[in-house]
């Protein structure tokens, strides 16, 4: 039967020879799957910058669906999504600046801190 090549990006296998491998690696499905894989590891600032340069997808805004999905060249983010993403980028920049200054940055979010504080206060009051 011969050797088989398994593509981790596409989750497919095929007979391994030069022609088949080259055909697969240059195929549209493989290139899309590879792009989706690497997009999982992009930082929020890069995503925000890319989404701000795109025009909104009319079909997605009208129907909530787009035939192209993540491969669409237009943006599928709403104004609220962009605002949340920009807030996340600003928060990451602030924490990075604080770490560079040498300040202690507690792990977690404000909500976590408030919950811990409320527990401490309630135990202190009960004692």
If one counts every other C-beta atom within 10 angstroms of the C-beta of residue 60, the result is 19
pLDDT recorded at residue 63? 92
For the chain, helix (H) and strand (E) counts, in that order, are 6, 2
pLDDT recorded at residue 105? 57
Query: Could you say which DSSP state residue 9 is in?
Result: T
Q: Can you give the residue ranges of every domain in the chain?
A: 1-41, 43-104
Contacts of the segment 62-70: beta carbons below 8 A, 24+ positions apart? 70/36, 70/39
pLDDT recorded at residue 8? 93
pLDDT recorded at residue 122? 87
CA–CA separation, 38 and 32 (whole Å): 10
Contact yes or no for 54/73 (Cβ under 8 A): yes
pLDDT recorded at residue 13? 94
If one counts every other C-beta atom within 10 angstroms of the C-beta of residue 76, the result is 19
pLDDT recorded at residue 70? 75
For the chain (length 127 residues), average pLDDT per consecutive 10? 88 93 94 88 89 92 87 89 91 83 68 85 82
Query: Could you say which DSSP state residue 104 is in?
Result: -
CA-based nearest residue to 54, from 28, 75, 70: 75
If one counts every other C-beta atom within 10 angstroms of the C-beta of residue 48, the result is 19
For residue 58 the two structure tokens come to: 């009319």
């Amino acid at each position: 039967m011969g050797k088989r090549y398994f593509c981790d990006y596409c989750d497919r296998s095929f007979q391994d020879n030069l022609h088949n491998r080259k055909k697969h690696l240059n195929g549209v499905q493989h290139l899309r799957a590879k792009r989706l894989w690497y997009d999982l590891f992009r930082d929020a600032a890069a995503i925000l910058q890319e989404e701000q340069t795109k025009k909104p997808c009319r079909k997605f805004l009208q129907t909530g669906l787009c035939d192209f999905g993540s491969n669409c060249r237009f943006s599928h983010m709403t104004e609220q999504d962009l605002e949340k993403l920009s807030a996340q980028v600003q928060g990451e920049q602030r924490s990075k600046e604080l770490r560079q200054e040498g300040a202690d940055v507690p792990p977690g979010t404000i909500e976590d801190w408030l919950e811990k504080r409320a527990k401490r206060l309630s135990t202190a009051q009960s004692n």
